[in-house]
Structures are given as C-alpha cells and as structure tokens.
Structure 1
Amino acid sequence: MYNILDFNIDELKTWMKKNNESSFRASQVMDWIYKNNTWKFDNMKNIAKSTRDKLNENFYIGIPELVQVYESKKRDTLKFLYKYRDGNVIETVVMKYDRGNSICVSTQVGCRMGCRFCASTVNGMVRNLTSGEILAQVLAAQKEIDDRISNVVLMGSGEPLDNFENVIKFIEIINSKYSLNIGQRHITLSTCGIVPKIIELADKNLQITLAISLHSPEDEVRLKMMPISNKYSIKSIIDACKYYIDKTDRRVSFEYALVKGVNDSDIFAKKLSNILKGMLCHVNLIPINEVRENDFKKSSKDNIKSFLHILSQSGIETTIRKEMGSDINAACGQLRRSYLESKK
C-alpha cells in the first residue's frame, strides 16, 4: 500500500486514470485531506463508494500516532512525539508567536551527521522520512493545536540535505495550493553544510531560506563539534552559500551555537565577522541547549552580548534566538531519546 501523502496532485490524477477513475477525483481527495482534515477515505462522502473501496485497497493516509505531548510553562512551545506505522518515533515542535505558528519538523529518524551538541545523532540514523511522513507532522500538529501553521522549519531530527529528494518533494507539496499553500519564503531549511547539495539546492532556485549550522569560524574547532568538517571546509561552505545567494537572491542565515570556552570569545566573533563581511546574510546566535551526552555548557550572557556587539559593529545583521521550550526537552532529539530509553 502507498501513503497517499507521498503523492502530489499530478501523481494522484495519473493513478486515478490508470484505475478507470476521473482525474478530478484526485482534487476531491486532496481537498478532504488538506482542507477538511479528513483522514479516512470512508468519510469522504462526495466520492463514490466504489472509488473509496479502491482507495482503501491501495492507499493509507499516513498520519502518525501521537505518543506524547509536552507544553512549556510559558505555553508558547509544544513538543509532540509521533510514532509511524513501522514503530519508529520522531519529534515535532510547534512554537507560537504573535505573527503565527511555526513548526520544526524532523526529516529523518535519527541522524548520521554526529554533531556533538545534538541529541538526535547519539544513536545514529535509522532511516529517511518520506515526503509524506514529513508533511504528516504538519497536518497532525495543526489538528492538535486547532490552528494553522504559517512557517515551517526543517531543523528537527535529521539532516535535510541528506534526504534531498524527499525534502524537495515535501516543499513542493506543502507549497501547493491544493495542499497547505505555505509560501516558500515561509520555509527554512537548516543544514550542517553538505556542499554539493547546497549547490544542487541553489540550482533549483527555490525561494526558501537556507540556514547553515556553522558554529565556528575555524575548521579545527568546528571539527570538534561537527564531524562533517572532515569533508567540507568552512571556505567551501561559504563559497557554496555565495553561489546560493547569486542564484536565488536570497539571504543566507548562519546559525551559531555559543558554547562556553569553545567558540564564544571576542576573537571568534571577530574572525566570524571577517568571513561573513559583505555577504547577504544574517547570524542567529543560539544559547546552546545542554545535552547530558556531552560536556558543552551554555555561554554566559556577557559573552553572548559581546559576540552580538562585535558582529553588529561589523555590519552583519545578528540576532539572539529566543529560548523556547527548554523546560520540555525541546532541543533536537532529547524527547525521542528519553522515550527510547524508557522503553528499554
């Protein structure tokens, strides 16, 4: 059986024609799923029973089971633990802002990038999520909060560019009018820096925001935090980002997790300023979420402010990410890891 959420409208129309059904039935099914949150074919009452029987025989609507949900004390962050049909669990975070609801979705079960500050990579990668499984997180979360998601961030468990084809198809579907119609400029893709895939993404000329997990202006220090640095140098990543900017005319965002005594000194801020000066970019400083699997500690408030000041003085637009959900293990992989340990 197929997960119908993996199908775009043209693919479903083709399936309908091959199975002696009118192609407009595809649009009806999409409306039920995306506009009416109806996830059982038998409840799609304007579709003939014979057609519904065919759908039941060939498809399922792959909405994952909600296993756990946590809400922050400030009631601005919700973390969902979802289970797929094969028993694998992933986590999804919804952040409520005045401007709308943002969702942080996972793209893989686990992750193989090995970043030391991230809990999702501790046990490696299990498998990729399909485009429909990524999309299902948004559908399920919208139903849970009874409100529309307006912004999507591919920054949960997994490396999106390591699951390139499924991620691109997810963006295509969620951006479509028949689906959730979320504009590409409201979608952010975060990567640790897989250079060939950044180039490939640039050539697609999408209008999404590219976010790079940089975390150091020095290769040697970055390598201690992110094993991907063995393969791709900071220079190669910056060159790929400049290519992305040239192709898309979109600003690139650089994520910088500040770790006490590792990458948070004024010297690092000045080196980072030199690397990024003149680029169409933005730096997002992140007070790191402490993970028990490593000894990284959050930078002091004074160091964070000083880092921000140096970058800003160099003409680089810089912000400090608002801390949300720290009381509910909202950092990538923490909730999933706690759940798996509880099941041992």
Structure 2
Amino acid sequence: MKNILDFSLTELQQWMKDNGEGAFRAKQVMEWIYKKEIWSFEDMTNLSKSLISKLNNNFYIGIPEVVEVSKSEKDDTQKILLGLKDGNVIEAVLMRYKHGNSICISTQVGCRMGCRFCASTLEGMVRNLTAGEILSQIMIGQKILEDRISNVVLMGSGEPFDNFDNVMKFLLLVNADYGLNIGQRHITLSTCGIVPKIYELADKGMQITLAISLHAFSDEKRREIMPIANKYMIKEILDACRYYIEKTNRRVTFEYSLVKDINDSKEDAKALSQLLKGLLCHVNLIPVNEVKENNFKKSSKKTIEDFANILKNYGVEVTVRREMGSDINAACGQLRRNYIKSQSK
C-alpha cells in the first residue's frame, strides 16, 4: 500500500493508465483530496466503484492522526502532535497573523544534527518523512484552522537538507496548482548549513526563501553549539549563500538564536555585522527557547534590543522574532519529547 500523497499528478496519471483507467481520473482524485478535503475514496462520488476498489487496494490517504493540540493562552499559536501510520509522532506549529496563517512543519522524525539549543535532536533521528507526510501536516493544519494556510516554514523537527530528495518533491507538490497551490515565495526552508545542498538548491532555480541557522560569527564559537560547524566553515556557508543569491536573486535570512552570555554581547553583534555587511540578507534574531536539558538562558530584552540596534547601525537588516507559544512548549521537539517520555512511564 502506498501513500497517494507521495504521488505527483504525472505519476498518478501513469498509474491510472497502467491500471486501465483514463488519465483524467488522476486530477479528479487530487481535486477531492486537496481542494475538497475528502480523505476517503468511497466519498469521491464521480468515481466508479471499480476505480474506488482499485484505489483502496493500492493506496491509502496518509493524513496523520491528531494526537494532541496545545493552544496558547498568550496568542493564536497552536502546537499539534501528529501520529503517523507507523506509530511515530511529529509536531507542527500553527500561527495566525494579520497577513495570513502560517505553519511550521517537520521534515524528519527527530534530528541528528545535535544543535545544543534544540530539543528535536535529543532523541536522535528515527527516519526521514516522505514528501506526502510533509505535505499532510499542512493539510491537517488547514482542517484544524478551518482556513487556508498561506505561509509555510520548514523549521520544525529535522534538517531539510538531510532529507533532500523528499523535501524537493514536497516543494513541487505543495506549489502545484492541482494541490495546495502555495507559492514558492511563501515558503521558507531553514538549514543548519549543509553547503553542497545549498548549491544544489540554487541550481534548481526555485523562489523559496533560504534561511541559514548561523547563531555565531566565528567557527570556534559556532562549534560550541552546532556540531555541523565541525564540517562546514562559516566562509564556506557564506560563499554558498552568495552563489544562491546570484542564481535566484533572493535575499537570504540568517537565523541567530540569542543565548545569554554565549553569543549576545555587543562585540558579537559588531563582529556579526562585519561578517554580513554588504550581503543581500536579513538577520532574524531569536530569543532562545529554554530547554531544561541544557543550561541555555534567554538574553534580556535590553540585550536583544542593543544587539539589533548595532546590526541596524552597520546597515544590516534585522528583525526580532516575536515570541509565540512560549506557554505551550512551541519550540522544536519539546511537545514530541514530552509525549515520548510520558509513553515510556
């Protein structure tokens, strides 16, 4: 049995032809699934009984089970824990903004990158998600919100470039007019900096936003919190980003989690400004989410403001990420980790 959400229109058309059905049936099926949100073949009323039988014998519609929903009392954030067909759980975060609904989705069950400030990596990496499993998080999110999601961030559990092929197929599916039809410019992919894949993505000519988890201005300091820094130097990452900008004419975002007394000094801000000055980029300052398994503490509001002002004074575009869902463990991996621990008792 295959997850039909993993199929592109072309692939499903070929399956229809191979199984004695008209190719046009593929688009009908996809319209039911993506446009009408009908997730049972029996309820697709313009299909013949024989086709419905064939679909049931060969496919399932891989919509995850909603295991838990945590709603913030501070804002409109909802964190959802989703159960997959094999028993694994993943998480996504729904956020309502004036400009539309956003979702932060996972690309792997767990993560093997080992970033010290992130809860996603504490249980290690179990497996990659398929393109359809990544897509299904948006579909269930829209069902929960009873509204369209217009912005997607691949910044949940997992490293997207560690699951490159499935993520690339997801980007094609989510953008397709027969599917969810979410524009590429409304999609952000966040990576800790796997250099060869930045070049590979650039050569595909997509118009998504590339976000780099930087978190330090020097290789030495970056190695303290991100093991990937032992493999790729900041200079290599910036060279790859320049190539990406040249190929796509898209601005790159650099994510910088501010950790008290680790990377939040005025000297850090000045050095980061010098590093990025002149690059077509934007810095997203993130007050670190405190995870009890490490001793990282959030920088003070004054420290964050000073850091941002130094970047601005050097001509570097900067925003401070609004803290959302802090009362519901909305940071990557926290809800899943709590669930796993509760199940093991």
Instruction: Note whether the superposition's TM-score is higher than 0.5.
Output: yes
**SS of corresponding position for 1:120:** coil
For 1:5-154, list aligned pairs within 5 A: 5-154=5-154
The equivalent residue for 1:342 is: 342
Mapped to 2, the partners of 1:79 and 1:37 lie a distance apart of: 21
Mapped to 1, the partners of 2:303 and 2:89 lie a distance apart of: 37
Residues 103 and 138, structure 2, Cα contact 8 Å, conserved in 1: yes
- How far is 1:76 from its partner? 1.1
* Total equivalences in the alignment: 344
- How far is 1:74 from its partner? 2.8
Residues 284-321 of structure 1 show CA distances to partners (whole Å, capped at 9, x for unaligned) of 00000000110000011111111101100111110000
RMSD: 0.5
The equivalent residue for 2:243 is: 243
1:207 equivalent in alignment to 2:207: yes
Mapped to 2, the partners of 1:271 and 1:235 lie a distance apart of: 14
The equivalent residue for 1:288 is: 288
Residues 223-269 of structure 1 show CA distances to partners (whole Å, capped at 9, x for unaligned) of 11000000001111111101100000000000000000000001111
**SS of corresponding position for 1:242:** helix
- How far is 1:75 from its partner? 4.0
1:331 equivalent in alignment to 2:336: no
Counterpart amino acid of residue 79 in structure 2:
K
Residues 125-168 of structure 1 show CA distances to partners (whole Å, capped at 9, x for unaligned) of 00000000000000011001100000000000000000001001
Residues 154-204 of structure 1 show CA distances to partners (whole Å, capped at 9, x for unaligned) of 000000000001001001001010001100000000000000001100110
Residues 75 and 324, structure 2, Cα contact 8 Å, conserved in 1: no
The equivalent residue for 1:173 is: 173
How much identity, in percent, do the aligned residues show?
67
**SS of corresponding position for 1:336:** helix
Residues 91-120 of structure 1 show CA distances to partners (whole Å, capped at 9, x for unaligned) of 010010000000000000000000000000
Mapped to 2, the partners of 1:280 and 1:75 lie a distance apart of: 32
Residues 5 and 61, structure 2, Cα contact 8 Å, conserved in 1: yes
Mapped to 1, the partners of 2:75 and 2:315 lie a distance apart of: 35
Counterpart amino acid of residue 188 in structure 1:
T
**SS of corresponding position for 1:121:** coil
Residues 74 and 327, structure 2, Cα contact 8 Å, conserved in 1: no
**SS of corresponding position for 2:240:** helix
Mapped to 2, the partners of 1:60 and 1:157 lie a distance apart of: 25
**SS of corresponding position for 1:302:** helix
Residues 70-95 of structure 1 show CA distances to partners (whole Å, capped at 9, x for unaligned) of 10003410000000010000001001
Counterpart amino acid of residue 184 in structure 1:
Q
**SS of corresponding position for 2:256:** strand
For 1:244-263, list aligned pairs within 5 A: 244-263=244-263
> Please, which runs of 5 or more residues in structure 1 have no aligned partner?
none
Mapped to 1, the partners of 2:73 and 2:123 lie a distance apart of: 29
For 1:187-206, list aligned pairs within 5 A: 187-206=187-206
For 1:263-282, list aligned pairs within 5 A: 263-282=263-282
The equivalent residue for 1:185 is: 185
**SS of corresponding position for 1:119:** coil
**SS of corresponding position for 2:29:** helix
Mapped to 2, the partners of 1:281 and 1:299 lie a distance apart of: 23
**SS of corresponding position for 2:318:** strand
Residues 67 and 83, structure 2, Cα contact 8 Å, conserved in 1: yes
